[in-house]
Amino acid sequence: MARISGRFGRVEPRASARAYVLGLLSQAERKNCWQLAEQAGHVRPGPMQRLLRYARGNADAVRDDVRAYAVEHLGADGAVLIVDETGFLKKGRASAGVQRQYTGTAGRIENSQVGVFLAYATGRGRALVDRRLYLPEQSWCSDPERSRAAGIPDEVRFATKPRLAWEMIAAALDAGVEAPWVTGDEAYGQDPQLRAALEARGTGYVLAVACSTRVRINQGRTSVRADTVAERLPATAWQRQSAGPGAKGPRYYDWAWIHIGAAEHRHLLIRRNRTSGELAFYLCWSPTTAPLPELVRVAGVRWSVEECFQAAKSQVGLDHYQVRHWTSWHRHITLAMLALVFLATVAADAAPKRPADPHRSARSSEPISLTVPEIRHLLTAVFGQPALSAARLLHWSIWRRRHQATARHSHYRRRSADEPAG
């Protein structure tokens, strides 16, 4: 909290911000202003509401602090920036950016807000480091009166989601974030302007694209659909590679890569599920030569942002807000990002220096490393139940993590037995 204290003009919002973040880290059922005020011991929600809406402060400056904190504590070679979006289901039509639109949160068209996020991922951990609220063009950007009522600044103009993603990537690179790779799903991989901007900046990418994407093979004059390229590949073109660890062990797929276009380091990467045969496609570019395992690693890192969303919503109330104003949305989201990166940092610092062997851990009764949910549980106990002794807290933490290690070992062993040969 000391890192961001200078971003507030008075001591009162500074204290409210500390209480707000502690509330986000607490066991409060819903993390809105009413319950966070109750958690802080206030008799009314006014201080929390003023913090989000009226207090003198700069949410973007706090965002910069969050990003710098993540890079300082999680930074490592091979860092990857990940762009993705998530939805916030809402009622009514007064919340900034709300309209009936598709959101993956619900898996269908719902009345919702959509936020575009940038995540920072390394071998030490991952965290959300930037955010943009998407404003639909017709229902919001073309309606100045409605936008003004929701507190949207006059200078804000319509921007596509890939454009918002590029603004966040460029801001991170301008701030000195060393990340040689960017990845994202089809919504961003399909945008040629985003890919061109990354290439102009000299930043490599592994971006998912649709099976209908057309590519040029061997500098040919005609383009071919990506799924057609996959059908024509010989069996020897496929290599078994792990896309990184998952909940049940390494995530093995069959991978193939084909040089495309005239550029030397441009490839089409294809992933094939070893059980179902389902295919996924990625356009790849790098300023220097990158081997297949590196491209596979970057493609696998993309799922880290989904883990960030899940942790942010379940652990620190990213989607629990009950605000409508543009400023309020950005302040709540930014403080939730701060709480999440703090948990991720503590988890990274508590992790063993060398990756643990899940088979060895289970046999030797060693507990798994501290996780974000477990750290939040311990913090809540320390702040909320000071009468509990440290020995008792650690006893139950070790007991839980030891049983989780045993369950993980069982999953890995079963997965290994079921894995098809070859």
Per-residue pLDDT of the chain (422 residues; tens, 9 = 90+): 999 999 998 999 999 999 999 999 988 889 999 999 998 999 899 999 999 999 988 999 999 999 999 999 999 889 999 999 999 999 999 999 999 999 988 889 999 999 999 999 999 999 999 999 999 999 999 999 999 999 999 999 999 999 999 999 999 999 999 999 999 999 999 999 999 999 999 999 999 999 999 998 876 678 899 999 999 999 999 999 999 887 667 889 999 999 997 767 899 999 999 999 999 999 999 999 999 999 999 999 999 999 999 999 999 999 999 999 999 999 999 999 999 999 999 999 887 665 545 444 444 457 777 788 878 877 777 766 655 566 666 666 666 767 777 776 666 566 555 555 54
What is the pLDDT at residue 361? 43
The answer to whether the CB of 286 falls within 8 A of the CB of 277 is no
128 SS3 class: strand
Per this entry, what is the length of the chain? Answer: 422
The DSSP secondary structure of 11-80, one letter per residue, reads: HHHHHHHHHHHHHHTS--SS-SHHHHHHHHT-SSSHHHHHHHHTSSB-HHHHHHHHHHHHHHHH--TT-E
Q: Please enumerate in sequence order all residues whose Cβ is within 8 A of that of 277, keeping only pairs 6 or more positions apart, or say none.
A: none
Distance CA 210, CA 189 (A): 9
Question: Do strands 181-184 and 80-89 pair parallel, antiparallel, or not at all (unpaired)?
Answer: parallel
pLDDT on residue 259 = 92
Q: What is the pLDDT of residue 371?
A: 80
How many other C-beta atoms lie within 10 A of the C-beta of residue 267? 22
- Predicted TM-score of the model (pTM): 0.88
What confidence score (pLDDT) does residue 359 get? 46
pLDDT score, position 295: 97
Distance CA 115, CA 138 (A): 17
